[in-house]
Amino acid sequence: MSMHPDCERVMLTEEQLRERVKEVALAVDKEYEGKRPLVVGILKGSIIFYSDFIRFLSMPVELDFMAVSSYGSGAVSSGKLKIKKDLDRDVSGRDVIIVEDIIDSGFTLANLKALLSERGAASVKIVTLLNKAERREYDVAPDYNCFDIENEFVVGYGLDYDEQYRHLPYIGILKRSVYEK
Ligand code: IMP
Ligand code: MG
């Protein structure tokens, strides 16, 4: 299959994604043996990773979703997370697994983890597809991470730029010319 012309190169192929997602999912499955966690996908970026990930789990799981964004951007950011779509399920007493596409500054997951703990979750762990450790500003780390990546803007396998490229089956590095206009 040919690469999208807006990509500079493929960073992770379909095969690499499939293998590593399976490996991580099996490790998570093992850790939660005998439990019935609530698996929370963060919309929309995690959708493809999420659907591949959950199909490797053999434990009973419940699925739920949240959509979040940070209030504004730049100078007057209140540092608060805005919930665009909340969970259907009550998390109190539940073991929660957050599934996210990427940790960048850590703002989203640091806030989300605190929020779900405040709501009385028995445990909150983070599973991410990608980790840009170099960009971290907030004190949060994934419990499970599929790939550490360099500070490059990537798209595909759920990740977007301006709502495009989410459907690409691989992770590609977006050409700078696409976003530096
Ligand atoms: P954080 O709150 O700064 O950790 O940002 C996390 C969010 O930023 C992710 O859920 C993505 O939506 C977005 N993001 C960060 N880096 C990238 C990237 O390289 N490609 C696409 N989205 C990204
Ligand atoms: Mg996102």
Indicate the pairing of strand 62-70 with strand 171-174: unpaired
How far is the centre of ligand 2, averaged over its atoms, from the C-alpha of 12 (Å)? 18
Q: Measured from the CA of 101, which atom of ligand 1 is nearest?
A: 10
Answer whether 154 contacts ligand 1 (Cβ < 6 A).
Answer: yes
Indicate the pairing of strand 81-85 with strand 95-103: unpaired
* Residue pair 48/156 in contact by the 8 Å Cβ criterion: no
> pLDDT value at position 81?
86
**128: enclosing H helix or E strand:** strand 123-131
> pLDDT value at position 72?
52
Answer whether 111 contacts ligand 1 (Cβ < 6 A).
Answer: no
> pLDDT value at position 75?
41
Answer whether 106 contacts ligand 1 (Cβ < 6 A).
Answer: yes
Told to judge if 104 belongs to the known catalytic residues of this protein, a careful annotator would answer yes
| Atom 20 (ligand 1) nearest CA | 154
For residue 86, give every residue at least 6 positions away whose Cβ sits within 8 Å of its Cβ, in sequence order, or none: 66
> pLDDT value at position 80?
78
Selected catalytic residue, list 101, 104, 148, 160: 104
* Residue pair 37/95 in contact by the 8 Å Cβ criterion: yes
Nearest to 108 by CA among 150, 144, 147, 137: 137
> pLDDT value at position 157?
98
Cα atoms in the 13 Å half-sphere on the side-chain side of 42: 24
pTM for the model stands at 0.95
Answer whether 104 contacts ligand 1 (Cβ < 6 A).
Answer: yes
Q: What is the pLDDT along the chain (181 residues), one digit of tens a residue?
A: 689 999 999 999 999 999 999 999 999 999 999 999 999 999 999 999 999 999 999 999 999 999 998 765 444 445 678 999 999 999 999 999 999 999 999 999 999 999 999 999 999 999 999 999 999 999 999 999 999 999 999 999 999 999 999 999 999 999 999 999 7
> pLDDT value at position 70?
74
